C-alpha cells in the first residue's frame, strides 16, 4: 500500500496527486500540517529535508521524495494506463526538460513571491521578488510560444511535464496573471483545469484555498 505525505494546498503535492489520479492508483493520504511540530515530525521521520510530497511504498519499503521522482516511480508500478514519462529517449528528454522548466522557472519563482507575502514586513525581499517576477515573465513568454501549437506540454500526450505545469500555472496565474497577455498559455491552463485528474485536485483543495495569501 502507498502512503502520500502531503498537504492539499501544496503545489508540488498537487503534481504528485495528478499523477496518482491519472494512473488511478489507490493510496493512503497522510495530511501534514507543517505548522504543527508533531505533524512536521512525522514528515521529518520519513524525509529529514521535511518538504513534501513524499511517497512511502509499504510493500517494497521504499521512501520516495521529490515530485518528479515519485511520478517516475508510479510509472514503474502502474500498468493500466500509459506511462507519464515516455519510453522513447528523445520524447523522454523533452518530457523531463519541460518538467524541469515548469518546476524551476514557474513554480519556484511563484513560490518566492508567495513566501514573501507571509514574511514579516521588515524581513521582505523586494529585490528577490522583482527577480522572481522577471523570471516568470520570461518563462511565460517561452511557454506561451511553445503552447501555440501543442495540446499538452510536449505534444499530444499528457505526461510528467503536464503534472508539473498544472500547479505551477494555476498559482503563477494568481500571483502574476497571464490570461490577457499569453493566450496560448491561458488556453493550456484551461485545458489542464478540466482534465479529470487536475479537476479533482482543485476540488479537494477548494476548502483550503482561502489560506492562500492573496497579497
Ligand X SMILES: N[C@@H](CCC(=O)N[C@@H](CS)C(=O)NCC(=O)O)C(=O)O
For ligand X, the binding residues (CB under 6 A) are 10-12, 34, 51-53, 66-68
Nearest-Å Rg of the Cα atoms of the chain is 17
Q: How far is CA 80 from the centre of its chain?
A: 23
Residue 34 vs 142, nearer CB to ligand X? 34
Residue 34 vs 209, nearer CB to ligand X? 34
Residue 117 vs 150, nearer CB to ligand X? 117
CB of 148 to ligand X, least distance (A): 27
Q: What is residue 39's three-state secondary structure?
A: helix
Nearest residue to 68 (alpha-carbon basis) of 90, 51, 89, 85 = 85
Which strands make up the sheet holding 62-65, listed edge to edge?
28-31, 2-6, 54-57, 62-65
CB of 183 to ligand X, least distance (A): 28
Residue 47 has φ and ψ, to the nearest 5°, of -150, 100
CB of 153 to ligand X, least distance (A): 16
Residue/partner pairs of 132-136 with CB below 8 Å, 24 or more apart: 132/108, 133/109, 133/176, 135/105, 135/109, 136/105, 136/106, 136/109, 136/110, 136/172, 136/175, 136/176
Residue 11 vs 144, nearer CB to ligand X? 11
Residue 72 has φ and ψ, to the nearest 5°, of -65, -40
Q: Tell me the residue nearest to ligand X as measured from the CB.
A: 51
CB of 27 to ligand X, least distance (A): 16
CB of 52 to ligand X, least distance (A): 5
Q: How far apart are CA 31 and CA 97, in angstroms?
A: 30
Residue 107 vs 144, nearer CB to ligand X? 107
Residue 52 vs 73, nearer CB to ligand X? 52
CB of 111 to ligand X, least distance (A): 7
Amino acid at each position: 500500500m502507498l502512503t502520500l505525505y502531503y498537504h492539499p494546498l501544496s503545489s508540488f503535492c498537487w503534481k504528485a496527486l495528478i499523477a496518482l489520479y491519472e494512473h488511478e492508483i489507490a493510496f493512503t493520504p497522510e495530511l501534514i500540517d507543517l505548522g504543527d511540530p508533531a505533524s512536521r515530525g512525522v514528515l521529518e521521520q520519513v524525509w529529514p529535508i521535511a518538504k513534501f510530497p513524499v511517497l512511502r511504498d509499504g510493500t517494497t519499503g521504499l521512501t520516495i521524495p521529490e515530485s518528479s521522482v515519485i511520478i517516475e516511480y508510479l510509472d514503474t508500478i502502474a500498468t493500466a494506463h500509459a506511462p507519464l514519462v515516455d519510453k522513447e529517449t528523445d520524447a523522454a528528454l523533452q518530457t523531463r526538460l519541460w518538467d524541469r522548466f515548469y518546476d524551476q522557472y514557474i513554480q519556484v519563482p511563484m513560490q518566492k513571491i508567495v513566501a514573501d507575502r507571509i514574511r514579516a514586513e521588515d524581513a521582505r525581499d523586494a529585490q528577490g521578488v522583482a527577480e522572481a517576477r522577471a523570471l516568470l515573465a520570461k518563462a511565460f513568454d517561452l511557454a506561451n510560444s511553445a503552447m501555440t501549437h501543442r495540446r499538452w506540454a510536449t505534444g499530444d500526450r499528457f505526461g510528467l511535464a503536464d503534472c508539473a505545469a498544472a500547479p505551477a500555472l494555476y498559482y503563477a496565474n494568481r500571483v502574476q496573471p497571464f490570461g490577457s497577455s499569453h493566450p496560448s498559455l491561458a488556453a493550456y491552463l484551461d485545458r489542464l483545469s478540466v482534465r479529470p485528474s487536475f479537476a479533482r485536485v482543485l476540488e479537494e483543495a477548494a476548502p483550503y484555498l482561502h489560506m492562500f495569501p492573496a497579497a
